[in-house]
A and B are shown apart, each in its own frame.
Chain A
Amino acid sequence: MLTYNLNILLLVPIMTLAGIVLVKDTRNARIVTAIGMSVQLLLVFVLLYMYMAERNAGNIDEVLFYQDFTWYESLNIRYSIGVDGIAVGLIVLTGIVVFAGVFASWLMKDLVKEFFFWLILLVTGVFGFFISLDLFIMFMFFELAVIPMYLLIGIWGTGPKEYSAMKLTLMLMGASAILLVGILGIYFNSAPDGGALTFNILEISKVNIPIDAQRFFFPMVFVGFGVISALFPFHTWSPDGHASAPTAVSMLHAGVLMKLGGYGVLKVAIYLLPDAASEMATFFLIFVTIGVIYGALSAVMQRDLKYINAYSSVSHVGLILFGLLMLTKTALNGAVLQMISHGLITALFFGLIGMIYGRTHTRMVSEMSGLLKVMPFLSVAYVIAGLASLGMPGLSGFVAELPIFVGAFSHPEPFYRVITVIAISSIVVAAVYILRVIAKMLMEKVKEEANNKLTDAKWYEKISVISLLLFIVAIGLVPFWLSEMIMTSLEPIIRRLN
C-alpha cells in the first residue's frame, strides 16, 4: 500500500524558496513560484484522494500518514505529523488560496523575488501548522506563518502600511505570547499521573488535565488563537492590516491565516481542555456573538472595499468561533466548513478587489460605478462572491452557515437560542452591505470617463478567480463529501466533550 509522506508538503515550498533565491530574473521568480504552487496544489489533491481512499478502505485511525521523529530529546519535543479530515480540508483550502494568490499577484513590480520568498515562507508555515501534531512544532510553524506578514505588509503594502504592519504584528505577537504560556501550561500538566511530559496532541488527548489547570489555561489558549481569528475586542488589526496588505497577502491572511486561529481553538483549546471549554463557552460566546453582529454592522458604514470586506470577515470568522463554542457536532462541523468556505470566499473577494483596484486605482465604493459593463468577468465573479458571502444556497457559504445555526439552535439552553437568533440576523445585514456595494460599484452607468477604457481580467487573473469559484460552487452544490470527511474526524473531539 502506497502511503503519503506529509513532509512533501513542506519540501515543495522549501524547494520553491530555493528556486526563488537561485533565479536571477524577477520574471522567473514568479514562474518558479507558480510552478511550485501548482505542484503543491496537485500534491494537496493527491493527499485528499489518498486520505479518502484510506478512510474508505476502513482505516479508522484518528490521524493518517502519521510520522514521528525525536527533535529535542530532553524536553520530549517531537516532530510528529499526521492529518485528520479537518486538517485535510484546511490543507486543500490553503493549496487553492495560495495557488490563486500567486496568480493574483502576477504583475507584482517591486522586489519580486523577495516578495515571493516571504510569501512562500509564510505558506510553508501554514502547511506545517496544519500537519503538525506536536504543540511545540505547531507553535513554531504558527510563528513562521505570522512573522513574514510584517515584511509583506510593511514593504509591499499600500496606505499607512508601516502602521498597519506594526499593529498587526504586535497584536498577533502579544497573542502568541499568551498562547505560548497556555501551551506550556498544557505541557506541564500533560502527565498528571507522573511519567514523561509531552507536547504531542494525540497523547495529551488521552489524559485528563486537572480541571484547575484547564480553567487557568483555556482562556489563554482561546484568546491566543482567537486574536488571529479577529475575536472581539481584539479584531482591530484586521481592518487596517487587510486594507494595507498587497492583494495576495490579504487573500492568504483572511483566507487562511485567520483559520489558523479557528483550527487551533478546535484542536488545542477544545480538544485538549474540554472541561474548561464546556464551562467557559457561555462567557466567550457573548464576545463572539457581539463580534458577529458588530462586524456586520460596521461593514455597512464602510466606504473602502477592503474595509468592508475586512469587517465582513470579522463577522464571518466570528461565526466560526461561534460554531466552535457551541460544542455540538453539527455546529463544529459547520464551523470547520465555514473555515473552508469563508477562506475561499474572502480570498476571492480580496483577489477581485486587488484586480479592480489595479485598474481603477481607487477602492472607494463611491468613486466607481457601472463596472459590470466595463469588466463583466470580474464583476460577475464579484457578484457570485457576494452571493456566496451572504449565504445563497448553491454556494459554499450556505452549507457552512446552516449547520452552525442548526447546531447552535439545538442547544438545550434558551440563552444559546437567543444568541443564535442574534447571530443569524447578521446574514440580513450581510445582504445589506454586499448588495450596496454591488449596486453602487457594478451597476448603473459608468460615471467616471476614465473607467470606460478599462480592460477585463487577463488570463492569470482568470486562473486565480476560476480556481476559487470552482470550489465555492462545488462545495455549495455537493457538500456531502467534505462534511462527511470532517464529521468523521470530529468524533474524537465530541467523545472528549461528553
Chain B
Amino acid sequence: MNIIITIVVTALAVLYAGLFKAKKALLPLTLIGLVTALAFAVTAWDTNIVYYGMMEMDNFAIAFSSLIILGTIFIFLLTQNYFSEHSENVAEYYTLILFALSGMVIILSYTNMSMLFIGIEIMSVALYILAGIRKKDFASNEASLKYFLMGAFSTGFLLFGIALIYGATGSFSLDAINKYLIGNHQSVSPLFYPGMILIMVGLCFKLGAAPFHFWTPDVYEGSPSLITAFMSTVVKTAGFAAFLRLFGGTFAPLHDFWMPPLLAIVFITLFIGNVTALFQKNFKRMLAYSSISHAGYLLFSLVTLTGNSSSNVIVYAAAYTFASIIAFAVLILVKQKTGGDGFESYNGLAKRNPFVALALTISMLSLAGIPLTAGFIGKYVMFLNVMTEYHIYLVAFAILNALIGFYYYLKVIVAMYFKEGPEVELNTPVQYKLVLILSVIITLVLGVYPAVILNLI
C-alpha cells in the first residue's frame, strides 16, 4: 500500500513540478520517489500484510514490485537527452509512466478480481497514451490507436470472464473462488470454465502471447523506443506476475482443465515468435518478436505448477528485463546517431565503441541463453521445471526454438564485430553508461551466482 501511495504522490509532485517549469527537478524527484518506494518494498519483506482483503503484499508481490521498480528506475535514467529540449510535456510523460507503474504494483498484489481489473486498466490507459506521444509521427499514432483498440477488446474478454466466474461462485475474492473450487471439485458450475478461458485470453492479449500477439510488432515498432523498452520489459513482467498469481494460485485446482489450451499457446508462441524474428531486417521489430518468444518461455512455469514456479519466473523475468534494457539503450543511442534501426546500422560499431558493443553482446548472449549469463539460468530453470512432469516434447521443441534464437541474436553481434561499416562514434551520456554497466553486472552476477534470487520466494 505505501508503495502505491509513494509512487502516486511522486507522480503528482512531478506533475506540479512540470506546471511550475522546474525542468531540472523532474528526474531527481522521480528517482527519489522510486528509490523510496523500493525501500518500502524491501523493508516489507516477510510481513505479509493484507489490505482490506483486496491486496496482499506477500513475498511474491514484493519481489516482483522490487524488480519492476528497479526496471523503471533504469528506464528513467535512459531519459537523458531522449525527449527534445523544447518539449514542454516531459513532466506529463513521467507522470504517466509513474501511474502505469502504480497500476502494475496493484496487479502484482491483488486478491480480488476488481483490483485486477482496475490495476490492468490504470496500466493500459497510461500505456495507450504513452505509445502515441510523438504526435507528428504517423507510426506512433498508428501504434497508439492499434494498442487502444486491441487493448479495449482484450479488456472486454477479461471482464466477461470475471463476470462469468462471479456468476459461478458469487464472489470476486480470490480466496473465496479458490475455496469454492476446492469445495466443489466434482461439480464446478459450467459457467466457470468459459470464464476461466476468457480471462486467459484477455491476459494473453496483454502479455502478447500468440495467437493474440498481432498488435505487438506494430505497437512496439511504432512507439517511441524508450516507451517500447518500458512496455516490453517492466509491463510484460507485471502482466506475467498477474497471470501467475491467478492461474498458479487461485485456479490451480483446475490445472488439468486449463493446462492443454495453455500448452497449445506455449507451442504457438514459441514457434511464431522465433520463426518470424528470423526474417526481420529491423532491430526494433526483431526485439518485438523476440519478446513474444520470451513470453512463451515464461509461460513454461504454468505448464507444470511446482513450488518453484514463481521463483523461476522472477529469475527469467529479471534476466530478460535487464538484457532488454541494454538492447534498447543501445538501440536508442544508435538511432540518435544514424537515424536508422535496421541491422546495417550496427555494422562496424565495435571499432569505435568497444564498451557499448560489449554490453550489447552480453545482452544478446543473455537473451539467446548462453551459459554464464542470466538468460541461460532462466531457460535452465524453466526447462527443469517442465521436466519434473516429463514434458519431453515441449523441452525438445523449446530447445529447437532456442537454437533458432541463437541465429538472429548473433546476427547483431556479427554485424558489430565482423562487418565493415561507417565507423560512427556514439555519444554515450553518463546515465546511459551507468545503466549499461549496472545491467551488465546484474546479468553476469545472476548468470554466475543465481542463488541470489533463485531461492527468494
Q: Do A and B come from one complex?
A: no
